[in-house]
Amino acid sequence: DIQMTQSPSTLSASVGDRVTFTCRASQTITTWLAWYQQKPGKAPKLLIYKASLLVSGVPSRFSGTGSGTEFTLTISSLQPDDFATYYCQHYDTYPFSFGQGTKLEIK
Amino acid sequence: EEQLVESGGGLVQPGGSLKLSCVVSGFAFSVSAMHWVRQASGKGLEWVGRVRSKANNYATAYAASVKGRFIVSRDDSKNTLYLQINSLKTEDTAVYFCTSSGRYAAFDVWGQGTMVTVSS
């Protein structure tokens, strides 16, 4: 089974900062990777699919890169609404799996 | 508007069973692969299982942690996804979300979740 590892576990930042999250797969998943944002008590929201494609309606300050086993999610200029937990997920082969999440906190 | 609404959660004793439902509206349910994902309190997301469409023979797949105990099924005439959960363990306590992998292959539409608590 493919394991997903995210780093860091927690990230403290300020409004206007540029932040980058990292996700690593235990084996190649080409670009079958998605990024989700989740706020407390809410369902996750799909932001990025196929490693770098932005979901319609998601602000362009979100971007994703990577292929193979190394992936990143970048928020170019943090907005107050962005403070949440971010998960990566592979959908290369079953069983699908998620990373453990990165909590983005206000500094 | 695309909408998924889960129901059926509750308090159940270890070893018990429960059947969750997810009613779908606003998109082509019958041709969509549907999934269940769960999240224990304060923990991360765990993919649980999937059922594909009739065209794909309603094929199912499960996480190792639930295989043999959980059954994902669907009724396309009712636009409803199900999760039969048997032989429940305390570690199955979680919010259970239904979700679809449609346009993007990733999980693009989610329900609000239904809480399952396994406790004596």
pLDDT tens track of chain B, all 120 residues?
999 999 999 999 999 999 999 999 998 999 999 999 999 999 999 999 999 999 999 999 999 999 999 999 999 999 999 999 999 999 999 999 999 998 888 999 999 999 999 999
* Whether the Cβ atoms of residue A64 and residue A72 lie closer than 8 Å to each other: yes
Q: Report the alpha-carbon distance of residue B75 to residue A48 in Å, rounded.
A: 30
A12-43 pLDDT tens trace = 999 999 999 999 999 999 999 999 999 999 99
> Cβ A95–B107 below 8 Å, yes or no?
no
Beta partners for residue A8, in sequence order: none
> Residues A95-106: what's their mean pLDDT?
97
What's the confidence (pLDDT) of residue B104?
86
CA–CA separation, B84 and B60 (whole Å) = 13
Q: Is B92 helix (H, G, I), strand (E, B) or coil?
A: helix
Strand partners, B114: B96
Q: Do B45 and A44 count as a contact with CB atoms less than 8 A apart?
A: yes
* Confidence class for position A58, pLDDT limits 50, 70, 90: very high
Q: CB contact, 8 Å: B101 with chain A?
A: yes
Binding-site residues on chain A for chain B (CB distance < 8 A): 1, 32, 34, 36, 38, 43-46, 49-50, 53, 55, 87, 89, 91, 94-101
* Most A-contacting residue of B39, B45, B114 (CB-CB within 10 A), to test interface: B45
* Residue pointed to by tokens 């979700």: B99
Mean pLDDT estimate for chain A: 97
Mean pLDDT (whole number) for A65-87: 97
Model confidence at A83, pLDDT cuts 50, 70, 90, reads very high
Could you tell me if residue B30 is left (phi over 0), alpha (psi between -120 and 50 degrees) or otherwise beta? alpha
Contact B46 A98 (CB under 8 A): yes
- Distance of alpha carbon B47 from the chain centroid: 9
Token representation of residue A56 = 């319609």
Alpha helices in A2-94 (DSSP H): none
For residues B112 and B23, the answer to whether their CB atoms sit within 8 Å is no
What integer pLDDT is reported at residue B107 of this predicted model?
96
pLDDT at residue number B66: 97
C-alpha span between B38 and A88 (Å, rounded): 15
Q: Which of B113, B116, B38, B117 is nearest to A96 (CA)?
A: B38
Q: Do A43 and B97 touch (CB under 8 A)?
A: yes
Q: Cα(B114)–Cα(B5) distance, rounded to whole angstroms?
A: 9
**CA atoms of A62 and B16, how far apart (whole Å):** 43
- Quick one: pLDDT at residue A41? 96
Nearest CB to B106; choose among A1, A38, A49: A49
In the chain, the amino acid numbered A55 is V
Give Cα separations from A106 to A3, A47, B47, B64 (angstroms): 29, 20, 29, 37
